[in-house]
Amino acid sequence: MTREKIHIIDDDRRLCRLLGRYLEHGGYDVTFATSGDDISQRVLDSSISLILLDVMLPGKDGLTLAREVRELSNIPIIFLTAKADISDKITGLKIGGDDYITKPFEEKELLARIESVIRRAKLDNYDHGNKSQASFAGWTLDMVSQTLCSPEGEQVDLTSSEYRLLSALVTRPNVAISRDEILQMISGREWSPLDRSADMAIAKLRKKIERNPKKPSLIRTIRNKGYQLTAAVKYYNNAH
């Protein structure tokens, strides 16, 4: 069974090590950083389940980092900080934090809150199936009529295979979808290293939704893994 991965960003190396050991004992895989300089790369390249984020960091502060993460992903964020002022808590939650825990803290409570936030995030993901539309980077995909609308309000024609591919990317943002899965999706056959069909399908989709298909920013190539949608996605019903 795959273990959930938690990424800790805190400039206190000793705390990172202590937290890492405790969380690994609790069943999680843990990575950590002492600054958020590489946060964009981490979010895009890793299957992170949750970020534990300090507010007071060298360079970019935690609030700035949280805003950057929210532009890329819906990965849950728990602020873990010594800043206990109510205004800081409100700000942290308003910009996209899922919880706010002040130092010092009880390890058992932290573990319980992590479990709660990850469980809630999974329930939100399961709820996507009940939604009829998804929006990302200004685009809107209607999963009932299987139509795509551009940020300018223009309808973009999709083939049935392009729709299936985009729908898979949209319902699993920031998760790499393998070439084998893409080929099964569009043609029902297994992928081989010499088969370029999956890459060609992605290239055709990029031409329709990327501002510059030669330098894609929405559908990113993940080396040795496949492709993933890098934008945050919101799901809702037509009636709303």
d(CA 230, CA 238): 24
Q: 1 pLDDT exceeds 60?
A: no
Distance CA 47, CA 50 (A): 9
Q: What is the pLDDT of residue 191?
A: 61
Q: Is pLDDT above 60 for 130?
A: no
Q: Flag whether pLDDT at 123 surpasses 70.
A: no
Q: Which CATH superfamily is domain 5-127 in?
A: Response regulator (3.40.50.2300)
Decide which of 10 and 42 is more confident. Answer: 10
Q: How many C-beta neighbours within 10 Å does residue 174 have? A: 23
- What is the structure's pLDDT at 36? 75
Which residues lie closer than 8 Å to 157 by C-beta, 6 or more apart? none
What percent of the chain has a predicted confidence (pLDDT) above 90?
A: 37
Q: Which pLDDT belongs to residue 25?
A: 92
**In this predicted model, which residue has the larger pLDDT, 183 or 147?**
147
Q: What number is the average pLDDT over the span 145-165?
A: 90
Cross-strand partners of 39: none
The domain limits of the chain are 5-127, 131-236
Instruction: Give per-residue pLDDT as tens, 185-234.
Output: 776 666 666 778 889 999 999 999 999 999 999 999 988 888 999 998 88
Tokens of 90: 């409100």
The answer for residues whose C-beta is within 8 angstroms of residue 4's C-beta and 6 or more apart is: 27, 28, 29, 49, 50, 118
Which pLDDT belongs to residue 44? 56
Span 162-173, mean pLDDT? Answer: 88
Q: In the prediction, which pLDDT does 137 show?
A: 93
Q: Would you place residue 240 in the very low, low, confident or very high pLDDT band (cuts 50, 70, 90)?
A: very low
Looking at the domain 131-236, which fold is it?
Answer: Arc Repressor Mutant, subunit A (1.10.10)
**pLDDT category of residue 237 using cuts at 50, 70 and 90:** confident
Given this model, what pLDDT does residue 189 score? 61
pLDDT band at 15 (very low <50, low <70, confident <90, very high): very high
Q: Provide the pLDDT for residue 110.
A: 92
Higher-scoring residue by pLDDT: 36, 77: 77
Q: What is the mean pLDDT of the chain?
A: 85
Q: To which residue do tokens 């080396």 refer?
A: 223
Report the candidate in 205, 182, 204 with the shortest Cα–Cα distance to residue 192: 182
- pLDDT single digits (tens) 56-93: 988 888 998 888 887 777 788 999 999 888 888 888 88
Q: Which residue has the higher pLDDT, 28 or 119?
A: 28
